[in-house]
Amino acid sequence: MVRKHIGIFAVLGAVLAFSPAAAHEFKLGQIEIGHPYSRAMLPVAKVGGGYFKITNGGEADKLVSATSERAGKVEFHEMKMNGAIMEMRELEGGIAIPAKSTVELKPGGYHVMFMNVAQPFKEGEMIKTTLVFEKAGSVEVEFAVGPVAGDKGAKAHDAHAEHGK
């Protein structure tokens, strides 16, 4: 009986290891970056969004900048509703991460914006990016590129991409 169970776990482990969508995370001291992901971009697109969850087990910090070899520039944006219109603005001072808190970057809210992307992201790619925190320092993470976006937040992003042309 025991042997049978071990066999099942081995199969599960193999499936998880080969799935590009498997959750992945990165650690920097007390800060955890959970499952950074992006989405496949249309061939003409020059900007793409990036999302992840920051879990801070320590003191207050701030995500101040980011760089990626796949983007000319990386910014932090906030998207929110102004009446019926979805608006996006750059968070110039970065994203505050209060002590012992969780901050989620997600479609329709805070997000990373990859600007001046020369080679549109393709599904299955991993986009290496360095995140810089004011106190904790920097950490290299990889954004897993999923399928082209189809939700509401992503449509607003596509509109944003049009602006950027």
> Smallest distance from the beta carbon of 84 to Cu ion, in angstroms?
19
Alpha-carbon distances, residue 56 vs 45, 49, 63, 150 (angstroms): 33, 22, 11, 30
> Smallest distance from the beta carbon of 107 to Cu ion, in angstroms?
10
Closer CB to Cu ion, 88 or 103, in the complex: 88
> Smallest distance from the beta carbon of 82 to Cu ion, in angstroms?
15
Query: Over the range 68-98, which residues count as b (16 or more CB within 10 Å of their CB) and which as e?
Result: bebbeebbbbebeeeeeebebeeeeebbebe
Closer CB to Cu ion, 38 or 136, in the complex: 38
Closer CB to Cu ion, 48 or 56, in the complex: 48
Residue 31 in tokens = 């800060």
What does the binding site for Cu ion look like in residue numbers (CB under 5 A)?
77, 88, 113
* The dihedral sign for the CA sequence 95, 35, 47, 163: negative
Closer CB to Cu ion, 61 or 111, in the complex: 111
> Smallest distance from the beta carbon of 115 to Cu ion, in angstroms?
9
